[in-house]
Every structure is written in structure tokens, then in C-alpha cells.
Amino acid sequence: MSWFPILLVIHITLAVGLLLPSVLLPFVLRRSSSDGPPGPATRALMAMQGTGTIIIAAGLAITGAAMLWILGPELLTQPWLMVALILYAINLAVAAFISRPNLRRLIGLRQASADDETWRRRARQQRLVAYGMAGVIGVIGMLMSTKPNLW
Ligand code: HEM
């Protein structure tokens, strides 16, 4: 039995799981800039954008590596995969060193009931980070689906 189709379905599901919080969080953050702690949906999306991204990215690397094993490691010389993996590494670094700490600060600010302007400024930063991450994930997905001849 070939594991490839199963791995591909899991891989694409994880890719969507990585993309969704980055797309939805900016809207939820914009709406929840009023007073009071972020609601359960916002906190869930913030958790998925923070630690969730690291966990899902690990799943993408494992399923991706398994598919590489089946298809043959020479696929790694393909320009589309090299560019996709560089973007993947950048996205992971942004998630770990910028997005996650910023989300933690956002939750902390609300619990400490800091003034609204500080919260709004941090939420704006997080929205920009989320837009950027969504864009990068989209480009990776496009590269891995269309496998363009880059050079
Ligand atoms: C943000 C991260 C990632 C996203 C959004 C993503 C997305 C995708 C998508 C949408 C496909 C399906 C392409 C098709 O239509 O057949 C795919 C296939 C694949 N991905 Fe990823 N992927 C990601 C990370 C990775 C990583 C880290 C690896 C390697 C370690 C990897 C290796 C592969 C391989 C080998 C395939 C199969 C390509 C083929 O069918 O020839 N991916 N990926």
C-alpha cells in the first residue's frame, strides 16, 4: 500500500491548519480591541498562531520529509522546493521569535488592563505579522502545488 496519498492529505490539511489562524486572527484582533479580556475564540486563534504554528510546522516537516523519502531526495534539488523550504524556515523563525512573544504580550497587556492605545498598537503589529505569515504560507502552498520552473 502506498503511503504517499495519505501523507499528502495529512500534509495539505496541516498546511491549511497553518494558514487559517494567520488569515482569521487579524480580523478577530481588529474586532476585539474594545475593553475586556479576549474571548475564547480569540484566545484559541492566538494559541494556534503562537505555539500551534510551531507544532503544525513540525507536522509539515515530518510529512514533507516522508514524501521526499518516497519521491526520492533528488527532489531537493528542485528550485521550487528549495525556495519553499527557505520560506518555510523564515516563517517558522517569525512564528517563534516575533509572533509568539507578541501574542503573549498581548494577552498579558489585557490581563494587566493596560491602556487601550498600547493594546491597539500591539494588536496592529500582530495583524501585520499575521498578514505576512499568511502570505508566505500561501506562496509555499502555490510553489508546492504548481512546482514552477524557477531557474
Ligand atoms: C508552510 C509549509 C508548507 C506548505 C503550505 C506546504 C504545502 C504543500 C502542498 C499544498 C502540497 C501539495 C502539492 C500537490 O498539489 O501535489 C505539498 C506537497 C509537498 N510538500 Fe509541502 N508544504 C509545506 C511544507 C513542506 C516541508 C517543510 C516539506 C519538506 C520537508 C514539504 C515537502 C513536500 C513534498 C515532498 C510534497 C509532494 C510534492 C509532489 O507531489 O511532488 N512541504 N506541500
Q: How remote is the CA of residue 113 from the centroid of ligand 1, in Å?
A: 42
Q: Would you place residue 10 in the very low, low, confident or very high pLDDT band (cuts 50, 70, 90)? A: very high
Q: What is the pLDDT of residue 115?
A: 67
Q: How many CB atoms lie within 10 A of CB 38?
A: 20
pLDDT at 35 over 60: no
Q: Contact 25/126 with Cβ under 8 angstroms? A: yes
In a domain, 51, yes or no: yes
The pLDDT of 95-110, averaged and rounded, is 80
Q: Would you place residue 127 in the very low, low, confident or very high pLDDT band (cuts 50, 70, 90)? A: confident
Q: Which range is least confidently modeled, 33-47, 64-78, 95-109? A: 33-47
In a domain, 151, yes or no: no
In a domain, 70, yes or no: yes
pTM score, whole prediction: 0.82
Contact residues of ligand 1, CB 6 A cut-off: 11-12, 15, 18, 60-61, 64-65, 67-68, 71, 75, 85, 88, 137, 140-141, 144-145
Q: Which residue has the higher pLDDT, 146 or 24?
A: 146
- Specify the number of domains making up the chain: 1
In a domain, 88, yes or no: yes
With CA atoms as reference, report the closest residue to 34 among 125, 123, 126: 123
Top mutation candidate among 19, 137, 144 for ligand 1, by most atoms within 8 Å of CB: 144
- Residue 77 sits in which domain range? 4-146
Question: Which residues touch 20 (CB under 8 Å, ≥6 apart)?
Answer: 48
CATH number at residue 49: 1.20.120
In a domain, 72, yes or no: yes
Q: How remote is the CA of residue 3 from the centroid of ligand 1, in Å?
A: 15
In a domain, 61, yes or no: yes
Which run of H or of E encompasses 103? helix 100-111
In a domain, 96, yes or no: yes
